[in-house]
């Protein structure tokens, strides 16, 4: 729209100025956001993945969050005694996750994804004052996911800065997982999401 002719890396850097998530959304599939040390080195890039993956999204609340993700992370960085340890653990978790993707090990990927997400929330809870996004239904969903895993379903939880839960699973079994979650968590909105493509420019008049 601005007449700029940017390659994907430059577009990712530009998107980052508006939102970290947008940095990754330039690409499709699995994406790695390089933290970098300045504007030029902080960008996202696609990660090769042959695994059949899906996310089952469990919406427990559509209310606005009591504290924004940006404010929450700034407070966590400034006051949570657990923050440095989580950052250090995340470096190792990332390498484990990348290796799991490379080798096609869904169980290993799921374990590190779930563990890192729970660590992030533990870090926020330890912020002063504590930041607790979870609802009683969030805890119920975590228990349901663990029970389903013990019964043989390939399911692992991840949670952004909010109360809603996302479930990493095999694409071929995603609908089965969604049905099981609807049975265990009545009253919730459950949907299946598969890896999509990146951003694209479509020629034509503006609406």
In angstroms, rounded to a whole number, what is the distance separating the alpha carbons of residues 153 and 174?
Answer: 10
pLDDT class for 56, splitting at 50, 70, 90? very high
At residue 55, the pLDDT reads 98
pLDDT at 82 over 60: yes
C-alpha separations of 116 from 22, 60, 150 in Å: 21, 21, 20
Q: Measured between alpha carbons, how far is residue 200 from residues 1, 11, 25, 204 in Å? A: 12, 11, 11, 13
Average pLDDT over residues 178-194: 97
What's the rounded Cα separation, in Å, for the pair 188 and 162? Answer: 15
Q: Could you tell me if 67 and 131 are in contact, meaning their C-beta atoms sit under 8 angstroms apart?
A: yes
The H-assigned helical ranges of 62-189 are 69-79, 83-103, 106-125, 136-150, 174-184
pLDDT, tens digit, 9 for 90 and up, residues 10-30: 999 999 988 888 899 999 999
Q: Which residues pair with 189 in a beta bridge?
A: 59
Instruction: Tell me how far CA of residue 138 lies from CA of 38, 74, 110, in angstroms.
Output: 36, 23, 18
Answer whether residue 1 shows pLDDT above 60: no
Cα separation, 58 vs 134, whole angstroms: 13
Rg of the Cα atoms in the chain: 18
Q: Which is it for strands 53-59 and 189-193: parallel, antiparallel or unpaired? A: antiparallel
Least-confidence region, from 2-11, 114-123, 178-187: 2-11
- Percent of the chain residues topping a pLDDT of 90: 83
Q: pTM, whole model, 2 decimals?
A: 0.91
- Which pLDDT belongs to residue 206? 58
The predicted-structure confidence for 133-179, as pLDDT tens digits, reads as follows 999 999 999 999 999 999 999 999 999 999 999 999 999 999 999 99
Q: How confident is the model at residue 204 (pLDDT cuts 50, 70, 90)?
A: low
Question: Do strands 31-33 and 165-170 pair parallel, antiparallel, or not at all (unpaired)?
Answer: unpaired
């Amino acid at each position: 729209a601005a007449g700029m002719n940017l390659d994907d890396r430059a577009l990712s850097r530009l998107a980052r100025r508006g939102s970290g998530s947008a940095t990754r959304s330039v690409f499709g599939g699995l994406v790695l956001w390089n933290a970098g040390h300045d504007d030029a080195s902080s960008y996202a890039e696609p990660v090769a993945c042959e695994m059949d993956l899906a996310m089952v999204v469990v919406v427990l609340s559509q209310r606005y969050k009591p504290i924004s993700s940006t404010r929450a992370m700034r407070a966590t960085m400034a006051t949570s005694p657990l923050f440095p340890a989580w950052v250090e653990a995340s470096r190792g978790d990332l390498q484990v996750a990348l290796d799991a993707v490379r080798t096609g090990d869904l169980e290993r990927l799921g374990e590190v994804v779930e563990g890192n997400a729970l660590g992030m929330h533990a870090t926020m809870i330890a912020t002063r004052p504590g930041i607790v996004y979870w609802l009683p239904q969030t805890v119920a969903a975590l228990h349901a996911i663990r029970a389903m895993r013990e019964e043989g379903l390939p399911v692992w939880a991840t949670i952004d800065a909010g109360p809603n839960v996302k479930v990493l699973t095999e694409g071929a079994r995603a609908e089965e997982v969604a049905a099981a979650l609807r049975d265990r968590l009545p009253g919730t909105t459950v949907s299946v999401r598969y890896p999509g493509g990146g951003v694209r420019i479509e020629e034509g008049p503006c609406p």
